[in-house]
Structure 1
Amino acid sequence: MTHTIYAELLDQCRATQFSTHSLPLSGSLVEVPGENDLTYYYLQKSRRVAGGKQPREFIGSSSYKKVLERVKSFTSDKAIYKSREELVSALKKNGVTAPTAKLANLLLTLHDEGVLARSVLVGTLAFQAYGPMLGVKFGQSAFYTQDVDLAKADSVELAMPEKPIEKELLDVLKEFDETFDGIMGFDRKQPPVSYMNKDGLRVDVLFSFSGPERKKPIRASKIQSHAHPQRYLEFLVEAPTEAVLLIGGGLMCHIPAPARFALHKLIVSEKRNSSEAARAYKDREQASCLIELLIEEDPESLEEAYENLKARGPKWRTNFRKGLEKTKREDFLEFFQE
């Protein structure tokens, strides 16, 4: 049932993903009467900023034909959005894990500003999205997060709105919560690649690279931020898939293919230092959940991802093998040996 409801939710989200009204469907329309029988239209956003306020954005007046067209289109799509809210509610009642309220508000902001459409969501939030996508419920311990990990890869072309992002990512975050600030690294002269607020919500921007070592931040212009260069990331973000986050009437995003996510987690677990032992354990736990499921339901995707990984060189194969062995799952070892 979870799989069926989610599939319907995804179809409805796709239908209005790039609607001509270009207004966030999570908001609501406010009409203010004016002089000479004019009506002024505002979009009241659903997300709450610091102080619990819901900001309003002026759309235009009824004297303009294009404004009336936007309002009509928004009203039509809003009706679909409300039916999507019922699907999201049904999934939550069925035990599917969703982002916390504070994290949901942050993700709404990133969605409404076009940031999610221009990046690949990785990390635990991506893993969380695999549950309803694959029709399963994973253990709760693998789900909790306060982090939003955004990956940008220039080699990956994503379907996205035509309107570019004009604000710096930090400015977007500060409009949501003024306590957001950049996390400075050891070199104070370098621009930040991570941001955090007083509640511990964190946004990390990552950039895939290969070749010679790169330590300085890389500019990710499409999401208006610098990013942390991270090796092995290109394997993860190639050929991402569309997913829906269970927020409001559903938020479209891009996440890695489940098989690539699982194999990448085993590699990453081997690259963590001793102080990150808990994170390495979580990496292997998430990988094990997906591998166990995919061996049963979609072994071809695992085989394809593994062949791609092996072709990338001996370091890739060695780190993957070490991570796989630490899962202590003989059935996993047998599958990949075959």
Structure 2
Amino acid sequence: MKKNDNRAQPFSIQIRTTYADLLERLEDLNTGNAMASLTSCTLITKAVKGGKYLYAQGRLSDGSQRQVYLGPLDDRGKALKERFQQARKDSASEIAAMEMSAKALRAAGMASLDPVEWRVIAALAAEGVFRVGGVLIGAIAYRCISGLLGEKLSSASAFTADVDLAGKTIPIAVHDEVASPQTALERLEMGFSPMNEFNPAYYGTRWKAGEGEFKVEFLTPLIGKDRRGALKIRQLGVPAIPLRFLEYLIENPAPAVALGRKPVLVKIPQPARYAVHKLIVSRERKPNQRLKAQKDLQQSHELQQILMQLDPEALDEAFDAARSKGPGWKKRVDDGQKAIDRLFRQDRTRT
């Protein structure tokens, strides 16, 4: 009997350690510490009425330049300037080290973005989209889960995938920072523009590049009664397609590394919730989407097999959280699990 090798393969402990270190460094760079801010601005000296003064000069997220007064260029100002220059050197060294780590991960076969995907996701990250609650979902997120778990997922697609970006409105009292994914897309100069929708109520929820079929789609949870038309995500300033069951998927998203020309810090669903959500989605597929439903089940099965070894408690909690939402949720989850049993029992009988 031939053994079935269509399963996840773990990366070496060295590669998993390299990934964990890279993720930690990217998070540090994103927390608003001195390194993160200093790499985006320069210090300049101005002579005003016989005195010398120190200013920070840089660009805001909207692309405009701004100068911030720091104080006179006295001993304290000179010391600040020296610390800034040293921090720039340290930051450049740190970034170079991170890029070397990312290169090692790609060489080891860890899933990465193609050039188009990378340009778009890097632009969204630079705009602050993931910092204010944006979450990658879909095929690209699944590829990122591979690195997060330290496993080479057999069901991760290598084809160029659209960017599916989910988010929910965060009250301004909780988080008043905003980001503009539309501005980020326009700055890429790839010809991105809103797609014409059959239903005008969804205009602006999907953006398409000027060449090819590459799209960016904005999604948000649908809670309560069904509705027609988009919902706006406040802190992203975009209309989004409301989807049932999405709030479960994007709750407490995980930071992850998106590999490409340079590593990018993104937010993706928790792997355990991704696995359970795929069960639910598979039950929502129409009869003519049988192959997509099968892919949903394959991805859920593969993640469950890994998580039962790596973090069974997280998997149990994800199942419990979904089933506790009501009988409709529980039925979809349980029916999805039964479908997995049937699918992989058939696979076993063929080997």
Range of TM-score over shorter length = 0.7 to 0.9
Aligned to 1:95: 109
| Structure 2 residue matching 1:328: 3-state secondary structure | helix
How far 1:57 moved relative to its partner? 8.1
Report how many residues are paired: 315
Judged with a 3 Å threshold, the aligned counterparts in structure 2 of structure 1 residues 22 and 86 are, in CA distance, closer, same or farther, namely closer
Judged with a 3 Å threshold, the aligned counterparts in structure 2 of structure 1 residues 277 and 74 are, in CA distance, closer, same or farther, namely farther
Letter in 2 for 1:328: D
Cα RMSD after superposing both structures:
3.7
For 1:225 and 1:82, locate their aligned partners in 2 and report how far apart those are by CA, in whole Å: 34
Structure 2 segments unaligned to the other structure (5+ residues): 1-13, 48-54, 346-351
Assess if the C-alpha contact under 8 Å between 1:83 and 1:249 holds in 2.
Answer: no
Assess if the C-alpha contact under 8 Å between 2:140 and 2:161 holds in 1.
Answer: no
Judged with a 3 Å threshold, the aligned counterparts in structure 2 of structure 1 residues 191 and 71 are, in CA distance, closer, same or farther, namely farther
| Structure 2 residue matching 1:223: 3-state secondary structure | coil
The TM-score with structure 2 as length reference comes to: 0.76
How far 1:132 moved relative to its partner? 1.8
Letter in 1 for 2:206: S
The TM-score with structure 1 as length reference comes to: 0.79
Letter in 1 for 2:274: F
Aligned to 1:296: 309
How far 1:174 moved relative to its partner? 2.0
| Residue 245 (structure 1) aligned with residue 232 (structure 2) | no
How far 1:24 moved relative to its partner? 9.5
Matches within 5 A, 1:173-192: 173-192=185-204
| Structure 2 residue matching 1:216: 3-state secondary structure | coil
Judged with a 3 Å threshold, the aligned counterparts in structure 2 of structure 1 residues 242 and 171 are, in CA distance, closer, same or farther, namely closer
How far 1:130 moved relative to its partner? 1.5
Aligned to 1:335: none
How far 1:324 moved relative to its partner? 2.1
How far 1:183 moved relative to its partner? 2.1
Matches within 5 A, 1:124-139: 124-139=139-154
How far 1:98 moved relative to its partner? 0.2
| Structure 1 residue matching 2:341: 3-state secondary structure | coil
How far 1:71 moved relative to its partner? 6.5
Letter in 1 for 2:311: D
| Structure 2 residue matching 1:199: 3-state secondary structure | coil
Aligned to 1:320: 333
For 2:238 and 2:17, locate their aligned partners in 1 and report how far apart those are by CA, in whole Å: 37
For 2:254 and 2:201, locate their aligned partners in 1 and report how far apart those are by CA, in whole Å: 36
How far 1:143 moved relative to its partner? 4.4
Judged with a 3 Å threshold, the aligned counterparts in structure 2 of structure 1 residues 24 and 209 are, in CA distance, closer, same or farther, namely farther
How far 1:328 moved relative to its partner? 3.2
Matches within 5 A, 1:160-175: 164-165=178-179, 167=180, 169-175=181-187
Identity of aligned residues (%): 24
| Residue 266 (structure 1) aligned with residue 287 (structure 2) | no
How far 1:19 moved relative to its partner? 3.0
For 1:154 and 1:188, locate their aligned partners in 2 and report how far apart those are by CA, in whole Å: 22
Assess if the C-alpha contact under 8 Å between 2:249 and 2:273 holds in 1.
Answer: yes
Identify the match of residue 108 of structure 1 among 122, 126, 143: 122
Structure 1 segments unaligned to the other structure (5+ residues): 45-55, 333-338
How far 1:76 moved relative to its partner? 3.0
| Residue 120 (structure 1) aligned with residue 132 (structure 2) | no
| Residue 4 (structure 1) aligned with residue 1 (structure 2) | no
Farther off after superposition, 216-225 or 172-181: 172-181
Letter in 2 for 1:3: R
Assess if the C-alpha contact under 8 Å between 2:283 and 2:332 holds in 1.
Answer: yes
How far 1:103 moved relative to its partner? 0.8
Assess if the C-alpha contact under 8 Å between 2:256 and 2:265 holds in 1.
Answer: yes
Aligned to 2:9: none
Judged with a 3 Å threshold, the aligned counterparts in structure 2 of structure 1 residues 70 and 112 are, in CA distance, closer, same or farther, namely farther
Deviations 1:76-118 (Å, cap 9, x if unpaired)? 3232111000110010111111010111011111111111222
Assess if the C-alpha contact under 8 Å between 1:2 and 1:132 holds in 2.
Answer: no
Assess if the C-alpha contact under 8 Å between 1:88 and 1:249 holds in 2.
Answer: yes
Farther off after superposition, 264-273 or 321-330: 321-330
Assess if the C-alpha contact under 8 Å between 1:42 and 1:57 holds in 2.
Answer: no
For 1:231 and 1:90, locate their aligned partners in 2 and report how far apart those are by CA, in whole Å: 39
Aligned to 1:77: 91
Assess if the C-alpha contact under 8 Å between 2:57 and 2:68 holds in 1.
Answer: no
For 2:230 and 2:330, locate their aligned partners in 1 and report how far apart those are by CA, in whole Å: 27
Farther off after superposition, 239-248 or 205-214: 239-248
For 2:297 and 2:344, locate their aligned partners in 1 and report how far apart those are by CA, in whole Å: 15
Letter in 1 for 2:20: A
Identify the match of residue 217 of structure 1 among 217, 227, 230: 230
| Structure 1 residue matching 2:200: 3-state secondary structure | coil
| Structure 2 residue matching 1:291: 3-state secondary structure | helix
How far 1:194 moved relative to its partner? 1.2
For 1:4 and 1:224, locate their aligned partners in 2 and report how far apart those are by CA, in whole Å: 37
Deviations 1:8-66 (Å, cap 9, x if unpaired)? 111111221123465596x8x9999x99xxxx99989xxxxxxxxxxx98676999879
Letter in 2 for 1:19: N
